[in-house]
Amino acid sequence: MTESTVAPKTDYLVVVISYLSFIVLGIPGAMLGIAWTSQEWPSIQKTFNLGLDAVGALFVATTIGYSLASVFGGRLFGRFNASSIFMVGALISAVAFLAYAFLPAWWLIVVFGVGAGFGSGMLDSGMNIYFAAVFNARLMNWLHASFGIGTVVGIWMIQQVLGKGGTWQTGYIIAAGAYFTVGVLFLLTRSRWVNVGRGTHEEGTHAGISARSTLRLPLVWIGLLIFLSYAGLEGVGTQWTFPLFNRGRGIDPVTAGLWLGILQGSFTAGRIFFGFALSYFQPRTLIRACTVSLIITTLLLVINPVPNGAFILLAVYGFMLAPIWALMVTYLQERLGPLHGANAIGFVVAAAGLGIGILPGLTGILAHRISLEVVPVILFVMSILMAGLYELTASRRLQARLVPVTT
Quick: pLDDT tens for 100-134.
Answer: 999 999 999 999 999 999 999 899 888 888 887 78
State the pLDDT at residue 398: 60
One-letter identity of residue 231: A
For residue 192, pLDDT over 50 is answered with yes
User: Domain limits of the chain?
Assistant: 12-195+204-402
- Which one, of 302, 271, 319, 239, lies nearest residue 59 by Cα? 239
Q: Identify which of 199, 189, 226, 194 has the alpha carbon closest to the alpha carbon of residue 20.
A: 189
- Read off the pLDDT of residues 21-50 as tens digits, 9 standing for 90 and up: 999 999 998 888 788 877 678 888 888 988
The CATH class of 12-195+204-402 is mainly alpha
pLDDT digits (tens, 9 = 90+) for 202-237: 333 444 566 677 777 888 888 899 999 998 998 899
Residue range 255-295, pLDDT digits in tens: 988 998 899 889 888 888 887 887 788 878 889 999 999 99
Region 295-317: what's the mean pLDDT? Answer: 93
Q: Tell me if residue 331 falls in helix, strand or coil.
A: helix
CA distance 90 to 180: 6
| pLDDT for residue 406 | 44
Residue 304 vs residues 307, 308, 351, 378: alpha-carbon distances, Å? 6, 9, 31, 14
Comparing CA positions, the residue from 301, 306, 86 lying closest to residue 196 is 86
Under DSSP, the state recorded for 197 is T
* CA pseudo-torsion sign 78, 15, 91, 102: positive
Instruction: Give the model's confidence band at 15: pLDDT under 50 very low, under 70 low, under 90 confident, else very high.
Output: very high
Cβ proximity of 237 and 360 under 8 Å: no
CA distance readout (Å), 255 to 39, 219, 258, 311, 338:
13, 42, 5, 10, 47
CA distance 271 to 178: 23
Check whether 16 has a pLDDT greater than 70. yes
Structure confidence at residue 2 (pLDDT): 38
Q: Return the pLDDT at 206.
A: 43
pLDDT-above-90 percentage for the chain = 36
Range in 70-84, 215-229, 295-309 with the lowest mean pLDDT: 70-84
Which one has a higher pLDDT value, 264 or 88? 88
Contact predicate 332/348, CB 8 Å: yes
